[in-house]
Structure 1
């Protein structure tokens, strides 16, 4: 049974000075929201979870995902998905190509195309496989980025202010889609945001850094 994402005595120092400490557990399908001013360590915490902590930062304590300690694993073995403020779609690939990037290499040919088509139907973009990502609206790009990340079958989801560039109507729609998907797939979610409305929509515990 999935156990979610846990932080035990997690501490991050910057050049030897304490930056943040965290003890928390995020159950499957739950959202933990982390808020705080710029420089309080929100993005650093995400880097620690995905395994890309910059030089000058040191980490102690444990990060555990579904019962496996991932603190020292390389990023590609952690199976943690992340959505950023910018959609970061690959401009040289079609919409379908972007989605295919998230799929495991073992899926080929017709099975791969069928999976991409099903994913597009799932997010209301049926028939968009050949489209250039540059022709999509902000909301459509956000949906493609979310689906590409989910196709990679992550075991936890990190959200780095992914709704901040969307207008109010799109923001509500994409926010609901992300949280519904996470609940449906039993993914523990860590949301970093400046926006109290994001925290309210997430409906889980809120931790304020700094």
Structure 2
């Protein structure tokens, strides 16, 4: 397991129209999942947008975001080294399952086909490489989205309510799979959710934002 990645939020503050929405000073260690909870409008999604590099105009952000000791606050989103997992799998409909997995891989990745085969086997989808994503169940799509994220070799991960659209059984299954894989990869991760069961499954610290 890679144990070198670390995400630091040094006195990060986000304001809108003179009002402070988010104020955080914390760090996330290798394989740790920090959960940020709060009601709608408390700034959870705004925080993720700032960290990922696509904060909407009108918001003002201050403080520093460090990934492995490097300040990434002024870098464009594609150069930050941060992976994203959303409520929806967002698989590319024009690509096969294997094509979706290959899409995010670094260009220098050796033997991509073999890596895809191994990745599919790890998530219980061996032999699914040629399938159209439209033929997958919701749980299968979620697994492919997770593995696409991991194969993109991020240095940190942001999770935006990734289990909220799954039924109860799938939610439990995907929580276990996601958090196990993130710990194995040693990735510092930030989860935003309104579900306390998500926070409990993540097993890390919880920060609550006020409305």
TM range (shorter): over 0.9
8 Å contact 2:159–2:192 — kept in the other structure?
Answer: yes
| Alignment size in residue pairs | 208
1:115 equivalent to 2:109? Answer no
Residue aligning to 2:15: 13
What is the root-mean-square deviation of aligned Cα atoms in Å? 1.1
The partner residue of 2:51 within 49, 52, 57 is 49
Q: TM-score, normalised by structure 2?
A: 0.95
Using the alignment, how far apart are the partners of 1:27 and 1:106 within structure 2?
27
Query: Once the two structures are superposed, what CA deviation does each residue of 1:115-151 show, in whole Å capped at 9, x if it has no partner?
Result: 1111111111011011010111111000000000110
Q: Partner of 1:40: helix, strand, or coil?
A: coil
Deviations 1:49-75 (A, max 9, x none): 010000001110011111111111111
Match for residue 139 of structure 1?
Answer: 139
Q: Is the 8 A contact 1:35 1:208 kept in 2?
A: yes
Answering whether residue 114 of structure 2 is matched by residue 97 of structure 1, we say: no
* Gap regions ≥5 residues in structure 1: none
Paired residue for 1:88? 90
Cα offset for 1:107? 3.5
CA distance in 2, matches of 1:137, 1:168: 15
* Contact 2:30 2:187 (C-alpha < 8 Å) held by counterparts: yes
Three-state SS of the structure 1 residue aligned to 2:60 is strand
1:22 and 2:35 equivalent? Answer: no
1:49-88 alignment runs, 5 A limit: 49-88=51-90
Q: 1:105 offset after TM fit, Å?
A: 2.0
SS in structure 2 opposite 1:120?
A: helix
Is 1:201 the counterpart of 2:204? The answer is no
Preserved contact between residue 3 and residue 67 of structure 1 (Cα < 8 Å):
no
Q: Which runs of 5+ in 2 are unaligned?
A: none
Q: Distance in 2 between matches of 1:174 and 1:138?
A: 11
Cα distance in 2 for residues equivalent to 1:155 and 1:3? 6
Residue equivalent to 2:160: 160
Q: TM-score, normalised by structure 1?
A: 0.96
